[in-house]
Amino acid sequence: MISVVIRTFIIYCAVTAFMRLMGKRQLGELQPGELVITLLVSEIAANPIIDSSLPLLNCIIPLILLVGFEILNSVIDMKSVRFRYFTEGKPITVIRNGQLDQRQLKKLRFTVNDVLSALRQKDVFNIEDVEYAIVETNGTLSVLLKPEKRNSTPKNYDKPEKDTGLPCAVIIDGKIIEINFEDCGVTSEEIKGKIKQEKLKQKDILLMTVDKAKNYYIITKKEC
């Protein structure tokens, strides 16, 4: 009995430490790879507790390897946009100006009921009120309402909010993201022209966003 308590305590401490090493993203919405790692960790950790004849090393070594794979995956994710898209996928717009993109719904294997249910969870009950709805890589739905349907604030009581569209990320980690050009109505030449105007180098830009009104927001990389 005492050995079971000790083994359980050791495994508990090891798993807690490994989950901390994998980062705080594990505590929120999980990406597919993170979910796989979490399930494997829980399965491997449970075996030595249930079967006391199994050596603890048979649990600890696989856990170390899995955590190592996850940390390596996270490091590569930070360095490579293509690898990030391969492992996590891309956000997909399923509603534009109140219209469902049926081709994207089919690609995601989402039904109309799935979308309507997700909208209701965002307190949106009329699809016509939605300017953009985006399925994020973790499966959640992000919603931008049309300007006239957004909550009023003191600064826009006297004049209605202008429709500037959806701010699109057109550069991430120094890489131009052309798939977002359609939603924000820009071209590669315009982006490069803005970079030149700001006297920046593309590789030095961490994030650049732009909306339909051509409002740009730029964050440059900093040495850490």
Whose tokens are 């030449």? That residue is 189
Domains in the chain with CATH codes? 2-86 (no CATH), 92-156 (3.30.240.20), 168-220 (3.30.240.20)
What is the structure's pLDDT at 73? 81
The CA-based diameter of the chain, rounded to the nearest angstrom, is: 74
- Closest to 187 measured CA to CA, from 201, 168, 161, 206: 168
Residues 6+ positions from 9 with CB-CB distance below 8 Å? none
The residues that bridge with 135 in the sheet, in sequence order, are: 92, 141
What is the structure's pLDDT at 147? 82
Output the tens digit of pLDDT for each of the chain's 224 residues: 677 778 788 888 887 777 777 665 544 456 667 777 778 888 888 888 778 788 888 888 888 888 888 888 888 887 777 787 787 788 888 988 888 888 888 888 888 888 889 999 999 888 888 988 999 887 889 998 988 877 755 555 555 556 666 788 888 888 888 877 877 788 889 899 999 999 999 989 988 898 878 889 898 988 65
Kindly give the interhelix angle for 32-50 and 81-88, rounded to the nearest 10 degrees. 60
Distance CA 178, CA 84 (A): 16
Distance CA 136, CA 118 (A): 12
Whose tokens are 């016509």? That residue is 128
For the chain, helix (H) and strand (E) counts, in that order, are 8, 8
What is the structure's pLDDT at 163? 63
What is the structure's pLDDT at 152? 58
Distance CA 21, CA 18 (A): 5
What is the structure's pLDDT at 8? 81
Residues in the chain: 224
Distance CA 32, CA 216 (A): 32
